[in-house]
Structure 1
Amino acid sequence: MKLVADQLLEDLVPHELRRSWAAAGNYLDRDIYALFHEHATTNPGRTAVLDADGVLSYAELDVLVQRLAVGLAGLGVGERDVVAVQLPNGHLACAFDLAIAAVGAIALPYPVGRGDREAWSLLSRSRAVAVVTATSYGDYLCAERTRAMLGDLPSLRTVIAVGGEVAGCVPVSALLRCDPARFTPSTPDPDGPARILVTSGSEAEPKMVLYSHNALIGGRGRFMGVLLGKTPEPRVYIMVPLASSYGSNGTAVTLATHGATLILRPKFDVDIALAAIEEDRPTHVLAVPTMFRMITDNSARRDTSSLRVVALGGAALDPATADRVRESLGCSVVNVYGSADGVNCHTAVDGLPHSAGRPNPDVARVSIVDDDLRVLPDGEVGEIVSLGPMSPMRYVGAPELNARYRLTDGSVRTGDLGHFDADGHLHVVGRRKDIIIRGGLNISPAEVEGLLATHPAIRDVVCVPVSDPVLGERLCACVVADRDLPLVEVTAHLAAQGLEPRKFPERVVVLGELPLGPAGKVDRRAVQELIASRAPR
């Protein structure tokens, strides 16, 4: 049964509001594949994807997409079916994204590296009919373990294995042999569902957020358009997984919307990333701050002259990191605040990224509200609420999230805390659920992390709670540094910057590096588990 029969694809933004955005020019009213095919027809020789396997032009990628679309249709995949994709960054991940759109289905990409439990949850709640997955990723046998779930997931019919033969799975080679001459594109409603974005899992289960073609192209596409500016032939290196929320600016936005070149590598590695910057000459990079803290530590004697803009999102960007990237690499640094929930704001390309910038109402209108949803004046901290052309349709397979986070006008309660200054700049101070409560005092880890990042010996930092029988929680600062940092030195640095002593960390742990999760961001849960295992006895 199609998801629409269960009303799981209903748009919670009023249709009249969507149509008003189309009338205002925010939406192109085109589907993702149609836009991509137009670029492939107009500029067939332009480089579409440059990955670890080589170069693929728009025309070559289009033929690949058509083969895969014919193959998916032959497997019974049709309009509004959900197809999950678990592949590392590369041209095949892009091709499947576009092929799924071409048959009118809904893509559900999720990063390689997620375990059985999360995969089962995503596939079950989305009612995916097919999964495209790597044969293996490290020691994890992705295709075989996904194939084992078939009996427990009534909607799941097919597992497509990429990278080798796996019993009970359809080899991707079977789809690649399909005749592109048999391809007939679907014509989905541009306001209809196109992609499900998966959060990095701050809830008990990862949230799945449904986006339409128009919201991806007209909302996220406009955000990317501002970043690209008037660059004649933009080359965008996306370091985070394409399957992440930030990575959704890849196929549907960089390729289909803007016809630019997409630079990809299977996973993030400092040396590989620097080599890609030297060899592939990106003009724009999308990454998380931790990645560029590592890159600037190793960028000496590297040619980074092609870079025009480094856009850092997915985590708080502190001024010290922004300054270091700008000075080391000689390019503009943009602070991007956004989430799968449907909010986006970023600093101007030539601005100082010491805030999240001024919200662009053509992307998302942002308000700050109190617990009773009353709009707060400038300077007062409250919850960030967002509504605009990029707003998603709904949460999938989680009616309780729609009840909790979606308002009657279509707005989304993000769960993030922030305030506006007198000049209209948005300042994000943390997340409600990340607040550490020490004996009744609320401490924002983001506030402390931003101040610690200015310490000359600290290259990266994350603050996590540790349980305490008296106060409930205490703050632990986990830092990447080349030398030991005594607690007294850390607290003295914070005191010099005006932080009240009640918010000081009460423990400092020096690490060689911070663990990253599948989406490329610092894995706070892994850090907490590591700190708990090192608890003083």
Structure 2
Amino acid sequence: MTVDLHDLLPAELRRTWAVDGTCPDLDLYSLYRAHQVADLHRTAVIDAKGKLCYTALDRKARCLAAGLSGLGIRAGDVVGIQLPNARGAVIADLALAALGAIALPFPVGRGTNEAASLLRRAEAVAVIAATEHRGNHHAADLLTLAGELPALRTVIAAGPGAPEGTLAFSALLRTDPTSFKPARPDPDSATRILVSSGSEAEPKMVAYSHNALAGGRGNFLAALMPDSRPPRCLFLVPLASAFGSSGTAVTLARHGGTLVLLDHFTPKAALDALAAHEPTHVLGVPTMIRMMLDRIAEGHHPAVPPPTAVIVGGSPLDEATAEEARRGFGCPVVNLYGSADGVNCHTGLSDPPLRGERPGILAGHPDPLVADIRIAVPGTSELREAPRGSVGEIVARGPMTPLCYVAAPDLDARYRTADGWVRTGDLGLIDDDGNLRIVGRLKDIVIRGGANISPAEVEIELTAHPLVRDVVCVGVPDPLMGERLAACVVPRGEAAPTLEELCAHLDARGLERRKHPERLLLVSELPLTPAGKPDRALLRERCSAQAPWSVAQAV
């Protein structure tokens, strides 16, 4: 291993969670093997090719691990993965865990320049990429960059027609695994690098240990398993996203469950999978859930069996969508607040409404088995806790806390404290009941004429308008005011709201006029990034290309 992946959490604190049983203190592959031995033929993965049991998946992972070992890939090496949601991605995850190598997954659809940046900064020695997926030819594209990436030795192409100069994933799967002996890495060592889909110039990369994923993140899912039976999780988000890191490491390795995978999200495919495979848990972002609900409401799909829970994360969930999802899916809707940086908090299976009369959105009671959460006074160099009930920056530390940022000492200095707390950059408060409520984001602020506007605050209010199905607010450059706020709205039904109607609605809800949007962009659906979140950058571009600003609400 060449890239430095140090642990910014005190070692004695990390060990405490292993000793007291909060974390399993085993590497991911050993955890997976224990489930495989206990139930040889349990279904591990359901994808477009059908079902794959634990034993068949284990053999494929061992074959790939043996093949990768033959290429000289060793414990501690970083290997990129750019594959769609299917068995290949899970095989790669487990093979790298068996080697003691470090997986660097990133979603299909991400551009070549961004992929090259990730691989370069992580000093990846190899990358496993799709030959073709929805018009993208990732393996061939990455091969053209190999000369610019000094550490990258091998491009492995998954799918038919491996380009010349790459190695075929299918050939590695035919390696004889009999002589392969799995590594037994330290459970507190790095196993996976999560890529943030945030607004940094380059995506942040965050290193996680076996214990942080299977333990901390695994405890999050355990809290939503009322009968402790192995979960059956339908992942609408990419396994290669931070949200999707609960796939192989948590659903399979920690809990011995089943992954139901779609290589590309559509509301029809998601509802078909829900009906055919009856998952216990559905994991998606709010926009995906709204698209599925629209299809149900239009009568295009029959009733689906109710899962244990629909888990919604990635962007703020409003109460209207949560309530509609409760009725549409016939089950509790869990609001998951979390990020790749190292924070997780969620509502339970029987929590009260998200909004109520209190500020912000309910994110549930912080679980110390996942991450302890505090509210700090913003802008202070030393961590100083804010008074109970007051808004401040959310900071987190616990069993799921990552090791460090990858190749980014500046981010370590900015977002991590000397005793291991993670500064999230999010604003929130702890209410009198001990619940975390999310208010906004420190850096997602639109500055209009020197006044700060939180897009999240405006979005929360606009989702309550009867003609608004979905909404994202973005700041658009303006020569006079610096920035102005634009509302990108998916109308509910045929009638579309006007800007004046939206602002009147905000007036009625008591939102200051300086925070009202000054431009309205109507869209049939919100574009999504490869990670499955609303594409704010693209929406910002579309708003910038519109006609000159409306000044009706400029105050």
Give me the TM-score of the superposition, normalised by structure 1. 0.97
Residue deviations 1:90-147 (CA, integer Å, cap 9, x gap)? 1110010000000010000000011111011000000000000000223322111111
Q: Does 1:516 align with 2:540?
A: no
Task: Report if the CA contact (8 A) 1:335-1:353 is conserved.
Answer: no
Cα offset for 1:225? 0.6
Distance 1:323 1:111 in 2: 30
How do residues 295-444 of structure 1 correspond to structure 2 at under 5 angstroms?
295-299=292-296, 300=299, 301-354=301-354, 355-370=362-377, 371-372=379-380, 373-444=383-454
Residue deviations 1:306-348 (CA, integer Å, cap 9, x gap)? 4120010010011111011111111100000000100000011
Cα offset for 1:227? 1.5
CA RMSD of aligned residues (A): 1.2
Secondary structure in structure 2 of the residue aligned to 1:529: helix
Partner residue, 1:268: 265
Partner residue, 1:292: 289
Partner residue, 2:150: 154
Residue deviations 1:343-383 (CA, integer Å, cap 9, x gap)? 00001111135100110011111111112131111222111
Task: Report if the CA contact (8 A) 1:11-1:394 is conserved.
Answer: yes
Runs of 5+ unmatched residues, structure 1:
none
Distance 1:345 1:414 in 2: 13
Partner residue, 2:201: 204
Partner residue, 1:86: 82
Partner residue, 2:51: 55
Partner residue, 1:281: 278
Task: Report if the CA contact (8 A) 2:231-2:251 is conserved.
Answer: no
Partner residue, 1:95: 91
Secondary structure in structure 2 of the residue aligned to 1:476: strand
Q: Does 1:477 align with 2:473?
A: no
Partner residue, 2:501: 489
More displaced stretch, 432-441 vs 339-348: 432-441
The letter of the residue matching 2:530 is P
Find 2:541's aligned residue among 504, 529, 532: 529
Partner residue, 2:68: 72
Cα offset for 1:235? 1.0
Cα offset for 1:218? 0.7
Task: Report if the CA contact (8 A) 2:80-2:127 is conserved.
Answer: yes
The letter of the residue matching 1:108 is L
Distance 2:255 2:226 in 1: 11
Task: Report if the CA contact (8 A) 2:109-2:530 is conserved.
Answer: yes
Distance 1:269 1:382 in 2: 38
Find 2:20's aligned residue among 15, 18, 24: 24
Q: Does 1:499 align with 2:511?
A: yes
Distance 1:387 1:251 in 2: 23
Distance 2:353 2:141 in 1: 43
The structure 1 segments of at least 4 consecutive aligned residues displaced by more than 4 Å after TM superposition are none
Partner residue, 1:34: 30
Find 2:463's aligned residue among 453, 456, 459: 453
How do residues 92-241 of structure 1 correspond to structure 2 at under 5 angstroms?
92-163=88-159, 164-230=161-227, 232-241=229-238
Number of residue pairs matched by the alignment: 533
Distance 2:410 2:542 in 1: 32
Distance 2:546 2:133 in 1: 29
Distance 2:262 2:30 in 1: 26
Residue deviations 1:63-110 (CA, integer Å, cap 9, x gap)? 111111111101111000001000000111001000000001000000
Give me the TM-score of the superposition, normalised by structure 2. 0.94
More displaced stretch, 487-496 vs 28-37: 487-496
Partner residue, 1:252: 249
Task: Report if the CA contact (8 A) 1:485-1:508 is conserved.
Answer: no
Distance 2:367 2:391 in 1: 20
Task: Report if the CA contact (8 A) 2:306-2:330 is conserved.
Answer: no
Residue deviations 1:45-75 (CA, integer Å, cap 9, x gap)? 1110011110001111111111111111011
Distance 1:330 1:406 in 2: 41
Distance 2:353 2:225 in 1: 17
Cα offset for 1:195? 0.2
Residue deviations 1:376-421 (CA, integer Å, cap 9, x gap)? 1122211111110100000001111111111100111111111111
Percent identical residues? 55
